[in-house]
Amino acid sequence: MGLSDAFIKRMEKKLLDKMQEIVSSLDEIIDRTADTDSRGAQDEGDRSVSHYSLHYLSQLSTRELETFKAIESALGKIKEGNFGVCEGCKDEINPKRIEAIPWAKYCVECQEKKEKGFL
């Protein structure tokens, strides 16, 4: 692993910030629909992420939902110690790319291949 602990810590914070941002937009959706079917989510004081059911997540845009899942997966990788490794070629992702998109799953080459449908 070429990434320093300090770098990973910083990326972890970015990931959590972004996740918080998505969760806030989710809160708005929940508040908007509060009177109909979200009582379960409103009752408990703890508003941790695990608490948001798939039902609410499904109201996010596809892009947000994908980012959300990618962030969860990136946070998992930090715990497992394989953060920053491309899921395609298993090489290290360029730190500059991680800096820009901490939840990136692929290096630039694999991302391009994926977008063209080769992966």
Residue 90 one-letter amino acid: K
**Among 11, 19, 86, 98, interactor with Zn ion by CB under 5 A:** 86
**Among 12, 78, 88, 95, interactor with Zn ion by CB under 5 A:** 88
Q: Could you say which DSSP state residue 50 is in?
A: G
Q: Could you say which DSSP state residue 107 is in?
A: -
Residue burial 22-35, b: 16+ Cβ < 10 Å; e: rest:
bbeebeeebeeeee
Check binding of 110 to Zn ion (CB under 5 A).
yes
Q: Are 104 and 110 in contact (CB under 8 A)?
A: no
**Number of residues forming the site for Zn ion (CB under 5 A):** 5
Check binding of 89 to Zn ion (CB under 5 A).
yes
**Please, which of residues 16-75 interact with Zn ion by CB under 5 A?**
none
Check binding of 104 to Zn ion (CB under 5 A).
no
Check binding of 78 to Zn ion (CB under 5 A).
no
Stretch that binds Zn ion, among 20-28, 41-49, 87-95, 97-105 (CB under 5 A): 87-95
Q: Which of 80, 103, 86, 84 is nearest to 17 (CA)?
A: 103
